[in-house]
């Protein structure tokens, strides 16, 4: 069940990453130059209230030093790259582990 949840989140993040990549590609073609929209700009355009809420929560309840160097750096990265990285991370967490029988020299069923 937990693996399914991680794989579902990976699929959602991958879909968002592809949508953001297509938007950046469309803007790049229209501008005749490479356009990479930062995550912070996209988030602010969609929901500025939640961006301000996230900043307030992180600075007040987590650690103020986390917002300035870490989150600001993440928000300046291209949005599609952040969501591709999140999709990869959640897919790696939700994947099935490899069998250990092959590492001991014992043939697994169906391997031959």
Q: Where along the chain do its domains lie?
A: 1-36+79-95, 38-77
How far is C-alpha 36 from the geometric centre of its chain's CA atoms?
A: 16
Question: Backbone phi, then psi, for 78, in 5-degree steps?
Answer: -60, 135
**How buried is 17 (Cβ within 10 angstroms: 0-12 exposed, 13-18 middle, 19+ buried)?**
buried
Which residues face 102 on adjacent strands?
none
Reading the chain (112 residues) residue by residue, the pLDDT tens digits are 889 999 999 999 999 999 999 999 999 999 999 999 999 999 999 999 999 999 999 999 988 888 888 999 999 999 999 999 999 999 999 988 776 655 555 555 655 5
């Amino acid at each position: 069940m937990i693996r399914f949840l991680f794989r579902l989140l990976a699929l959602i993040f991958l879909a968002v990453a592809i949508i953001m990549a297509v938007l950046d590609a469309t803007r790049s073609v229209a501008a005749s130059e490479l356009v990479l929209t930062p995550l912070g700009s996209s988030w602010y355009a969609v929901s500025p209230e939640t961006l301000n809420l996230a900043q307030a929560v992180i600075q007040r309840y987590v650690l103020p030093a986390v917002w300035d160097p870490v989150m600001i750096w993440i928000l300046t990265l291209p949005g599609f790259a952040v969501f591709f990285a999140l999709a990869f991370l959640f897919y790696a967490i939700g994947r099935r582990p490899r069998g250990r029988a092959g590492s001991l020299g014992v043939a697994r069923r169906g391997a031959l």
